[in-house]
Structure 1
């Protein structure tokens, strides 16, 4: 990468001042700064893209290693015979559960809530209206 130390930078500045001139030097410096900023942004995008590619390659390599290790473990320890489905027996004694017939169940009713008629509702007491202010007295001109 470019490496400038102080004396080299001073020489470049003096040459730029002599070649470009003091009047156009600020415009030239802005233009150079603009292009350096663009170059840095492009280099940053390139670097981030390259880092992403390296990271994806490392992940693919790790996944390959994990798959190999998983295959090795499965070869060394084959899965045992699967348990029959269902494992949980809800009726261990073997007796059939009692079936309740619908006519044996007494009907249940839910009564709706009792509403008060509108005449029984009590309206909240209205707050006293604010009292009008007395007009202010004008100060006497002194």
Structure 2
């Protein structure tokens, strides 16, 4: 996207050193770094939002296709009275009783 050659970067550094001066250059670089970081954060947030919208759109499209396919299958193979029905699931076994807690051993002993 941005094609910056090393010589162009060196020219910018020399111009910044002359215009800003060596005394204020570190502060200017910190401020520039801060704003570049903020811009990257905004771009990352924007890209994540776009990716989420695309993912949701694709998911809605897939759900629509699945519903259409299910509708087609149900039309081709209608449920009849002689068709086997689903059996109910068996009841889950009750949980095993827990062992009673062991008495805590005191340093005093029981008297």
Give me the TM-score of the superposition, normalised by structure 1.
Answer: 0.56
Match of 2:15 in 1: 15
In structure 1, list runs of 5 or more residues that go unmatched: 88-123, 125-142
Give me the CA root mean square deviation. Answer: 2.0
How many pairs are equivalent? 86
Q: Say which structure, 1 or 2, has more relative contact order (CA 8 Å, 6+ apart).
A: 2
**DSSP-derived class of the 1:35 partner:** helix
Are 1:2 and 2:6 an aligned pair? Answer: no
Match of 2:52 in 1: 52
The answer to which of 49-58 and 5-14 deviates more is 5-14
What is the CA distance between 1:62 and its match in structure 2? Answer: 0.2
Kindly report structure 1 stretches of 4+ aligned residues shifted beyond 6 Å: none
Residue pairs, 1:1-142, within 5 angstroms:
1-81=1-81
Q: Distance in 1 between matches of 2:30 and 2:57?
A: 41
Q: Distance in 1 between matches of 2:50 and 2:37?
A: 20
What is the CA distance between 1:81 and its match in structure 2? Answer: 1.2
